Amino acid sequence: MSSSLPLCLDCIRETPEKALEIAAGVHSKAREEIGLPPRVPKNSEGIECSYCANNCRIPRGGRGYCNLSKNKEGRLTRKLGTPEKAVGSWYRDPHPTNCVAAWCCAGGSGSEYPDYAKTPAGDRGYKNAAVFLGACCYHCLYCQNARWREMASSREPVLERNELVEEISSDRSITCLCWFGGTPEPQSPFVYEVSKRIRERAEEKGRIFRICLEANGNFSWPRLKRIAEISLESGGGIKFDLKAWNENLNRVLSGVGNEPTYDNFERLGELHAKRKEPPFLRASTLLVPGYIDLKEIRNIASFISEVDPTIPYSLLAYGPAYMLGDLPTTEKEFAFRAKDVAEGEGVERVMGNKHLLR
């Protein structure tokens, strides 16, 4: 399929042991070339890091998969991804944003005006604070946001909690905060602290201010739960990128298993039931040619429907990127068949980025 990944979907499903061995070599080599730990460390004598669901066991002198946690003389240390500091950058993104969930969130659709949106048509004329976090607990060979790898390797630039809270809170044109990247999981203490403080200031002023996340879902549940509660009450939402259903396929494409993601998604379904509009929990899947087929979509959609059929599901056309840059974009015929399959499994709201289809 790709010159960088000598594996087809049948190989991954039918001979997973060999496929995983080959894929591990691809991931390790690519990560070493950009200065990141080659694999999730699982040293039996290492220190366990619980910042995300990878639960790295880091040997003395080594670093975790995200390159932020370190075993320094037998102690787990980190200077970034703490409540005070994080690797990342941010910008003001005018509404309607290019957020995957813009079609169903309050800022994009005006859902539940006036409680969560500025107008019945959404927040046009206002802005979103888009915070790009420069770390990840996955390593997707088709990653669409390349900047995080350079940030994770250099651990720069640095965001300061108090400065970020002040800048965002003082700008009354900003009506929501979206954490993305990379992904929020490895730096969840920073995400929580900034989100909590901004929400407190917004409530004092009686302002609409939503907190949203776009993530791969590989969270430590206790850390996710605290952030999710803030997002829920603010009128925001959490979107998980359900990359694949097959565990081995997820490991081949993203370097890490997907069981924590689906467990966390199911738990968030209970919060989703507490506020259907604007929908709190959202999902997306990137239609990677040759790897994400209708069987994958059927299984993912069936899972979403069982959690709650009202959860919006975005099927995203693939744009060639990173190590799978020699794959084509998603074909229009396949995308619409995938939409039919998802709806056939009971998902009530299915959408996509049609402009990228070929």
Binding residues for [4Fe-4S] cluster, as ranges, are 136, 140, 143
Known binding residues: 136, 140, 143
**Total residues belonging to the chain:** 358
CA distance 279 to 273: 9
Residue 103 is classified by DSSP as T
Closest CA to 337 of 291, 285, 293: 293
> In the chain, at which residue ranges do the beta strands (DSSP E only) sit?
47-48, 57-58, 70-72, 75-77, 85-94, 127-133, 158-160, 174-181, 210-215, 238-241, 281-287, 313-317, 350-352
Cβ atoms 286, 241 nearer than 8 A: yes
CA distance 336 to 344: 12
Classify each residue of 328-339 as buried b or exposed e, where b means 16 or more C-beta atoms within 10 Å of its C-beta: eebeeebbeebb
Cβ atoms 238, 281 nearer than 8 A: yes
Q: Is 297 exposed, middle or buried (0-12, 13-18, 19+ CB in 10 A)?
A: buried
Q: Report the 10 Å Cβ neighbour count for 172.
A: 11
What is the three-class DSSP state of 313? strand
Distance of CA 45 to the CA centre of its chain: 31
Handedness of CA 293, 298, 304, 308 (dihedral sign): positive
Inter-CA distances, 304 with 179, 251, 334, Å? 22, 21, 20
Cβ atoms 238, 184 nearer than 8 A: no
Which tokens hold the place of 257? 């298993």
Looking at the DSSP bridge assignments, the partners of residue 91 are: 130
Q: Work out whether strand 85-94 and strand 158-160 pair parallel, antiparallel, or are unpaired.
A: antiparallel
